[in-house]
Amino acid sequence: MSHIMSTVTLLTVEAGRNVLFLFSGGLCRYRCCRDQGIACFHVSLLGYFARVHGINQLTKAFLQKTECHCQVINLGAGMDTTFWILKDQDLLPSKYFEVDFPMIVTRKLQSIKFKPLLSKPILELHSEDTFQIDGHMLDSKRYAIIGADLRDLSELEEKLKKCNMNTQLPTLLITECVLVYMTPEQSANLIKWAANSFGTAMFINYEQVNMDDRFGQIMIEHLRRRQCDLAGVETCKSLESQKERLLSNGWETASAMNMMELYSKLPRTEVSRIEALELLDEMELLEQLMKHYCLCWATRGGSELGLEEITY
């Protein structure tokens, strides 16, 4: 149980609401790692800390460049709590969208409906007496969550437009460990749709990289034993292949770094605090794992806003 609470400690640095969504997620992560030993679990937590920090930094940079006159679309959002964090920090975009499979959205909606700490911020921002909600969708003035299959782009676009997606606004799209579960053709179609749908946009993707080496193959074999197939793993060969996928599907600039490089750029005081909390003594394992995940970002248009200047 102490390890689960450690997950909560790491992930609630900026918002206590994360506990309402992520406690069960921490339990799942614990179950996945316990058969590999506690060292793996601690390394996994540190990797997640770096992931959250990296995506948050890029997201905030986009919001600052656009002065929050923009929209954010989180594709495959799961139980993410970024909307609530941004509201607390007075950094909300014009509208924040989340998309995931209907089953996931139903679970999240149940939490939102019955936990005032989650529902109240949405209601506070909604000027109408009621907002639209059903089993697979909620639409309010500043926040929408939609149940849809990202492989069905016509359905995705239709549902986003129904919730007042504005293609004229600068738009940030985020995917975290999503594209790798699609075939290369399916993920390319999604990336291309994202590039072509908005005149000014930024795309952030977090997923595996360097999967051709021995450590990468061990990761793949481990996931396969758990009946988890990475259908798009061939696109995760290198940082260059990750950037090329973005550039060849409509994006004008693309950058990428592995998570070990990102980890080395984190504030040292914060890293020391987290490493002490996690009693890290497996630096070699941490480096191996971090070098097999990456953060990529791409831009299209927005030169007048300086989007191409955004970096980590």
Binding residues for S-adenosyl-L-methionine: 51, 76, 149-150, 176
CB 42 within 8 A of CB 49: no
- For residue 114, CA distances in Å to 107, 110, 119, 124, 241 come to 11, 6, 8, 16, 44
Q: Is 72 left (phi over 0), alpha (psi -120 to 50) or beta?
A: beta
Q: Is 28 exposed, middle or buried (0-12, 13-18, 19+ CB in 10 A)?
A: exposed
CA 158 to CA 190: how far, in whole Å?
Answer: 14
Instruction: Starting at the earlier edge strand, list the strands of the sheet with 171-176.
Output: 132-134, 137-139, 143-147, 95-100, 71-75, 171-176, 201-208, 293-300, 253-258
């437009």: which residue's tokens?
A: 161
């697979």: which residue's tokens?
A: 136
| DSSP letters for 280-298 | ---HHHHHHHHTTEEEEEE
Residue ranges for the known binding site are 51, 76, 149-150, 176
What residues have CB less than 8 Å from 115, skipping those under 6 apart? 20
What residues have CB less than 8 Å from 303, skipping those under 6 apart? none
Structure tokens at 161: 């437009």
CA angle 67, 51, 261 (to 5 degrees): 100
Contacts of 223-231 with CB under 8 Å at 24 or more apart are 226/32, 229/181, 230/180, 230/181, 231/180, 231/181, 231/182, 231/183, 231/186
Structure tokens at 51: 């992931």
